[in-house]
Amino acid sequence: MVTARPGQSKVQEAFLIVGFGGIGDHVRCFALARHIAAQHPGVAIDFLCRSPTDRLVPFVPDLRAAFVDDTPHRQFGLRAKLDLAARLREQRYRRVYVVSRTLKSALVPFLAGIPERVGWLGEGRVGLINRPRFGERGLHGETEKVCALASSKGLAGCGPLMPPRMAVAPDLLVRWQMDLPDGPPAASVLALAPGAYNDKRLWPVERFAAVARAFAAEGWEVWVLGGPQEREMARLIAAAVPVRDFTLTPLEDAVFQLASATLFLGNDSGMLHIAGALGVPSVGLFGPTALEVTGPRNPEVAGVRPPGQDIDLRQIGSACVIDALAEQYYRFRPALLA
């Protein structure tokens, strides 16, 4: 399966990025695409990822198309990898950037015959990676580690860190909003994403409801974003305040939902990374993780953590989160009103 941006012109030379992990990890790779595009103007950059992240690629200015590898975890899937390698070989890539350190992630680019294979040496990948990078363990943030692959000199050769970026064409956003069952938003929108991939990253849903009540009392619309697993959370928040529930919509719709938001609040999750890449003023909730390590590096994202050395998200009160959202709103208000 290939996902491409409509109207994308063909470019003779092309590079490939091999993504990894969850949605947030994949979004981090969009920052690597920015650095590569800046260093190699005119080169097309494609993305190899797991679904449904391929649905984000049409919104990434620095990427041309996506290929999907959905080999189940803990399965090698040699036949599927050989088929994928054959399709990649047809693209005649000159270089590939392999973000993950695993052997499995480096195998397909090798089988595809891509001449320059950039990556960390990782687990027994000598030969599979023939343009190795060094110094990963000396880097603190996950985005910094990803972007350091762009230069043989490491992060020092990349210039100032460029965070991921995504964009929605204004006419497409208006059309999407007009097609909503309840029509376009009639007020400022607070978008909430109460989910995360593990329980330790979840702020209590009743605190999300308290924040929703505070903003609804000021005339804001409240939207709840996520997947089917957040359906019950959306129901609990809706019991406290009227909301628009978007927890049964595809990932590409989440891009439009976030692009429509005035403010965003979420746990350390893929949704927070997408919001940051779209430039939405956001507050992320961090306990066992930290904004400067695993969170988005976009300047529009602020983090809230429990007091002291505590990592339990239950120690974060709703009042300080409301204050953080208000601070983000007034910090970016000139841009929001533009």
* Tens digits of residue pLDDT in 78-123: 888 999 999 999 999 999 999 999 888 999 999 999 999 999 987 7
CATH code for the domain defined by 170-337: 3.40.50.2000
> How would residue 158 be classed by pLDDT, with cut points 50, 70 and 90?
confident
The structure tokens listed for 35 are 């650095």
- pLDDT tens for each residue of 259-288: 999 999 999 999 999 999 999 999 999 999
pLDDT at 113: 97
pLDDT band at 135 (very low <50, low <70, confident <90, very high): confident
* Closest among 281, 298, 316 to 189, alpha carbons compared: 281
Q: What is the second-level CATH architecture of the domain 2-157? A: 3-Layer(aba) Sandwich (3.40)
Q: Give the containing element (helix H, strand E) for 45.
A: strand 44-49
Confirm if 322 and 203 have CB atoms less than 8 A apart: no
Is the pLDDT score of 2 beyond 70? no
Q: How far apart are CA 292 and CA 7, in angstroms?
A: 37
Does 170-337 match 2-157 at the fold level?
yes
Do 289 and 307 meet the contact criterion of CB atoms below 8 Å apart? no
- Which of the four pLDDT bands, split at 50, 70 and 90, describes residue 7? low
Token output for 172: 């497409």
The answer to whether the pTM exceeds 0.85 is: yes
* Confidence category of residue 11, pLDDT binned at 50, 70, 90: very low
Domain ranges of the chain: 2-157, 170-337
Contact present, 114 and 127 (Cβ < 8 Å)? no
Q: Is 10 helix (H, G, I), strand (E, B) or coil?
A: coil
